[in-house]
Chain A
Amino acid sequence: MSLPGSGLEDDPRLEGSRRSRILGHAATRDRRNVWIAVISTVVFFGALIVVVVNSPGWLQIKQTFFDWDEFWSSIWSILRYFRLNVFIFCVAEVLVLALGLFVAVLRSLPGPVFAPLRILAIGYTDLFRGIPTILVISLLGFGMPALQLQGIPDSKIFWGIVALTLVYSAYVAEVYRAGIESVHPSQVAAARALGLTRIQALRHVIVPQAVRRVIPPLLNDFIGLQKDSALVAFLGIVEGLNRANIIVQADFNFTPLVALALIFLIITIPMTRFVDYLIERERRRTQGGAKL
């Protein structure tokens, strides 16, 4: 599994650090680099802030987008409704994990007998990756309850979750498939040689390896899903975005949208860093701890 990556000698970082050590003034150079980075950053962002603050429209922007009182009076109310976003994306994420894997496996089923299932899976991913999420949500959210069929739930939140699950499962199925296809064919050959059937090989050999490899891209899709949970606002559900918009349109002040943006950042940035960490860990693992 964990073969050392080839071309280790070409790693510029490795070369750099080795050279520094040889030259013997790595410490001084590093310190100087830090200072240059600090000064450059301060000057650049300082200039940017000066430009923005001195722009002719700044006062108006400040009043309508960064109104402190409006911020504090709206953020708690928005947070309260944001809990519904959290509920929606948590439920959807679990469903997406399962449905996405199911579709990916369908698409990877070997043999001519399973052709119809593969066609179905391909059709599904094409369809839901091709339609804008907001359209799927609107069509299902307004359309399905209108059928007034017995046994079909008419909860808006239900259909919002279904729509998000359908769209994101299509993306996640492709991620899974990439993982499945990245497992070397020799693995199947080995499993088959041990007497496993094709299905058993898929279940016990391929999928476990595939899933582990695609965890970082999976989490990336989840960040997207978390943000898109705001789209259910179009159905009339009052969640974070709708709540913020209500305050915006009642007060003619856009600050609540900035407050909501901050709330989303607080949720998504730790997730993004976590993905970076996982990618880094996977890189280290697959390169056999060869990193210096």
Chain B
Amino acid sequence: MRKVLIGLAVLTVLAAACAPEDDTSTGASGSETGAAPTDAKGCAASSDVTYTTDNALTIGTGNPAYPPWFEGGEQPGTEWKINDPSNDQGFESQVAYAVARQMGFEDNQVTWVPVPFNASFAPGPKDFDLVLQQISYSAKRAQAVDFSDSYYDVNQALVSTKGSSIADATTIEELKDAKLGAPIGTTSLDEITDVIQPNAEPLVYDSLNAAVQDLKNGQVDGIVVDLPTAFYVTAVQVPDGVIVGQFPTEGQQEYFAIAFPKDSALVQCVNLALDELKSDGTLDEIQQKWLSDKASAPVIAA
């Protein structure tokens, strides 16, 4: 019987040994919270806000970093593909640096880490303070992460190839018999299943590249992506690609938001920064610079 008791004790200890240490570092005593800061700089410097790395703003995005969100090409010796986000080129890169400056960070205090899409909303400790990756806001998603206000209002668009059966479509009705595809995790897919409702099951890809590959191969008649991406796809990736048109906004305007780990105190600071950038016209300028020629396309009628 003693042997049995010892065995039980060993098992219990083993199970207990798997327990993680209690996280005592949470909630760094926010004792001296005076009046809520009203500017991004004061907010970002307040003791309520904690960063994954001290004195630095760590920003996550997808790798490869696609245009027009990131531009300027690869930097030799870095892990970034297609574009290096740390060069302050491209829409999202410039928005990120503008927000960081507004919060009082120097450019060299901003570091970028590649974050796979699933990792941006997985629970647990994060190695980034915020993520910019063309993530559309939705109430359901906001249960898992915190979102900033909009930094870009976006519409979805349909890309096809010259001479395809849907290249000249002007109404959603004409798309019913088309074979369509979209990258996973995007609202583009919702556009297909909820709005177009084609007869054939849409294909769903784990990356933009896979979707583009199938469009080139003629495996799908068209792919749905956001409008700026549609311009990139047709200009660079698919030589005979055409933008069939963009889909009209239905109900709530879709927008890209910066995502934060749940309950991040940084959200209000970034929102203050975005407000400041909107009122002084900086955000508009950045949008003009990178997306102005990528915002107009014929609208596909319902």
A residues touching B (Cβ–Cβ < 8 Å)?
36, 39-40, 43-44, 47-48, 51, 54-57, 60-61, 63-65, 142, 145-146, 148, 154, 156, 233-238, 242, 245-246, 248-254
Contact = CB atoms under 8 A, between A and B. Distances in A.
Contacts of B184: 242, 245-246, 249
B190 interface: yes
B145 interface: yes
B78 interface: no
11 contacts: A44-B15, A51-B15, A60-B262, A64-B121, A142-B217, A145-B219, A234-B206, A246-B185, A250-B185, A250-B190, A251-B141
Contacts of A249: 117-118, 184-185
B35 interface: no
A240 to B, nearest CB: 12
State the main secondary structure of chain B at its contact with A. Answer: mixed
Given A142-B213, A242-B184, A248 B262 contact: no
Given A245-B206, A252-B121, 4 more contacts: A156-B203, A236-B210, A246-B204, A252-B140
Contacts of B204: 236, 238, 242, 246
Contacts of A39: 8
B250 interface: no
A148 B210 CA distance: 17
Contacts of B121: 64, 252
A43 B8 CA distance: 7
Nearest to B202: A238
Contacts of A236: 181, 203-206, 210-211, 214
Nearest to B3: A36
Nearest to B15: A47
Given A40-B8, A145-B217, A252 B16 contact: no
A56 B144 contact: no
B11 A43 contact: yes
B28 interface: no
B20 A56 contact: yes
Given A39-B8, A252-B145, A237 B203 contact: yes
A238 B144 contact: no
Contact of B20 (A36, A55, A242): A55
B19 A43 contact: no
Nearest to A251: B140
B3 to A, nearest CB: 10
Which of A40, A47, A233, A245 gathers most chain B CB within 10 Å?
A47
State the main secondary structure of chain A at its contact with B. Answer: helix
Contacts of A61: 123
A236 to B, nearest CB: 4
Interface residues of B, number: 45
Interface string B189-229: 11000000000011111100011011011110000000000
Contacts of A57: 20, 123-124
A278 to B, nearest CB: 33
A288 B200 CA distance: 58
A56 B22 CA distance: 6
A208 B214 CA distance: 45
Interface string B131-147: 00000001011011100
A39 B5 CA distance: 10
Contact of B203 (A40, A56, A238): A238
A64 B120 CA distance: 13
Contacts of A250: 138, 140-141, 185, 189-190
B4 interface: yes
B29 interface: no
A36 B140 contact: no
A77 to B, nearest CB: 11
Nearest to B187: A250
Contacts of B214: 142, 236
A44 B206 contact: no
A231 to B, nearest CB: 11
B123 A60 contact: yes
Nearest to B205: A236
B252 interface: no
B36 interface: no
Contact of B11 (A40, A54, A237): A40
A253 B203 CA distance: 22
Contact of B123 (A64, A148, A246, A251): A64
B153 interface: no
Contact of A238 (B26, B201, B219): B201
B256 to A, nearest CB: 15
Query: What are the 8 tightest A-B residue pairs by CB atom distance, in nearest-first order?
Result: A249-B185, A252-B144, A47-B15, A236-B203, A60-B123, A252-B121, A252-B141, A56-B23
A113 B203 CA distance: 48
A148 B213 CA distance: 13
B118 A248 contact: yes
Contacts of A142: 210, 213-214, 217
Contact of B16 (A51, A242, A245): A51
A62 to B, nearest CB: 9
B128 to A, nearest CB: 16
A172 to B, nearest CB: 29
A65 B19 CA distance: 19
A51 B145 contact: no
A183 B214 CA distance: 49
Contact of A44 (B12, B145, B202): B12
Contacts of A235: 210
B42 interface: no
